[in-house]
Amino acid sequence: MKIDFSRAVSLLKENDNFLILTHANADGDTLGGGFALLLALRGLGKKAKLINNDPIPEKYRFLIAESDDVPEESGFVVSVDVADKVLLGKEINEKFGSKVSLAIDHHSTNKLFAKETYLEGDSASVCEIVYLIIKELGVKIDGEIATRLYTGCSTDTGCFRYSNVTPRTHRIAAELIEFGARHGEVNVRMFETKKPGFLKLQSLCLASLELYFEGKVSVIVVTQKMLSDCSCGEEDCDAIVALSRQIEGVRAGITFKEKKDGSFKVSVRTHEGLDAAAFCSAFGGGGHARAAGCQFECSLEEAKKAVLDEMKKYF
C-alpha cells in the first residue's frame, strides 16, 4: 500500500527498534540513505541496525556507521532504495522479504512488496527523500548524516549531471553542505579517483565495444576474467556502465556484466526518448527512465541476441 509523507514519518516516530535493509550490490544511494537514517533514528534515542546482503565495497566503506543490537525477530523493518524484494539479495530476501513494514523508495517501478511504501518516483535519489524525512523527524543534522545523504544525492545523479536532477536536488545539496557534508571529499572518492587497474579495465572494455543500429546502441561486455586481470571488482563497473552511453551518437548504452555464477546482469543507460525501465521490463527488470537493469541466466550470446532483438522495437 502506498502511503503519504506524514504517515512515513509517523511510522518512524512510533517505533523504537529498527532493522534497515539496503538493496544488494549496494551503491552510494542505498548505503548513504540507510546509514543516514540509522544515525538519525539513533539520534532520537531509538535503536537501529543496518543489514545488507553482501560485503560493502571498499569505496563505500566510509559510509558505514555503528549499528545497535536489534533482535532480527522483533525489529520494525524499513527498506531504503529497494524496488522489489528480490533486489534485497537472496539471503536477506529469504529472511526479511515478506516482513518489510516500510519501504522508502524512488523507483517508479517499485513492486509495492512492503506493507507500506512511501514512494517518490520523480526524486533523483532516495537520499533526497530520507533528508526530508529526517528533517521532519526533528533530528539535528550533523556532518556525519549530511555527508551520507550528500553521497546518495551525488552518486545517483552522476554528480548532478543527469536529467533526473531537479531544483530540489540542488537546494538539498546546498543545505547538506551547510550542515557539514564533506562534498569535496565525497566527490573525489566517488568520481575523481581512478585506480590504475580501472584505467586498464576501461581500455579493455572500449576494445570490446560494439555499435549497433547505426551507432545508436553501444554494447560493452565485462567478464569476470577482465575484472580479475585488472584487479577490479563489481563496484568498478558503474563507471563502465556510465561510459556506454557517453559515446557520441549513442542513444542507448548496454553493458553485459558477467556475474561470479556465470550469469549476466545487463545495465541499460539511455538518453531522452528511450525509456530504459520500460525496455528492461520486457525481461522482468526495472529501474528508472534513463537507468535500468535486468538479469539473464543464459549464455552471453543468447542474452545479447534477446536484448538486440528487443531493441529493434525502438529503432
Q: Does 159 bind a copy of itself (CB under 8 A)?
A: yes
CA-to-CA dists, residue 262 to 212, 298, 299, 314, angstroms: 25, 9, 8, 29
Q: Which of 6, 193, 228, 299 binds a copy of itself (CB under 8 A)?
A: 193
Number of residues that bind a copy of itself (CB under 8 A): 39
Paired strand residues for 293: 267, 286
For a copy of itself, which is the closer residue by CB, 61 or 161? Answer: 161
In the complex, the smallest distance separating the C-beta of residue 23 from a copy of itself, rounded to whole angstroms, is 25
In the complex, the smallest distance separating the C-beta of residue 205 from a copy of itself, rounded to whole angstroms, is 10
Dihedral sign, Cα of residue 46, residue 52, residue 55, residue 58: negative
Instruction: Name the 3-class secondary structure at 250.
Output: coil
Degrees, nearest 5: CA angle 66-67-72: 165
Q: Does 162 bind a copy of itself (CB under 8 A)?
A: yes
In the complex, the smallest distance separating the C-beta of residue 199 from a copy of itself, rounded to whole angstroms, is 6
For a copy of itself, which is the closer residue by CB, 94 or 178? Answer: 178
For a copy of itself, which is the closer residue by CB, 38 or 165? Answer: 165
In the complex, the smallest distance separating the C-beta of residue 248 from a copy of itself, rounded to whole angstroms, is 5
Candidate ranges 45-53, 103-111, 173-181, 258-266; the one touching a copy of itself (CB under 8 A): 173-181
Paired strand residues for 244: none
Q: Does 177 bind a copy of itself (CB under 8 A)?
A: yes
In the complex, the smallest distance separating the C-beta of residue 166 from a copy of itself, rounded to whole angstroms, is 7
Residues between 25 and 84 that touch a copy of itself (CB under 8 A): none
Residues between 222 and 251 that touch a copy of itself (CB under 8 A): 243, 245-248
Do the beta carbons of residue 115 and residue 1 sit within 8 Å?
yes
Q: Which of 62, 67, 116, 191 binds a copy of itself (CB under 8 A)?
A: 191
Residue 285 makes CB contacts below 8 A (sequence gap 6+) with 266, 292, 293, 294, 295
The Cα–Cα gap between 11 and 100 comes to 12
Q: Does 168 bind a copy of itself (CB under 8 A)?
A: yes
Candidate ranges 9-17, 100-108, 132-140, 165-173; the one touching a copy of itself (CB under 8 A): 165-173
Q: Which of 174, 229, 284, 309 binds a copy of itself (CB under 8 A)?
A: 174
Do the beta carbons of residue 227 and residue 259 sit within 8 Å?
no
Sheet with 286-287, side-by-side order of all strands: 210-212, 217-222, 252-258, 264-270, 291-296, 286-287
User: Long-range contacts made by residues 97-102, C-beta under 8 angstroms, separation at least 24?
Assistant: 100/21, 101/11, 101/76, 101/77, 102/8, 102/11, 102/12, 102/76, 102/77, 102/78
Candidate ranges 76-84, 91-99, 163-171, 273-281; the one touching a copy of itself (CB under 8 A): 163-171
Do the beta carbons of residue 276 and residue 291 sit within 8 Å?
yes
Q: Does 167 bind a copy of itself (CB under 8 A)?
A: yes
Cell of 161: 549531471
Instruction: Name the 3-class secondary structure at 167.
Output: helix
Residue ranges in contact with a copy of itself by CB under 8 A: 154, 158-163, 165-171, 173-175, 177-178, 183-184, 187-188, 191-196, 199, 203, 206, 243, 245-248, 271-272
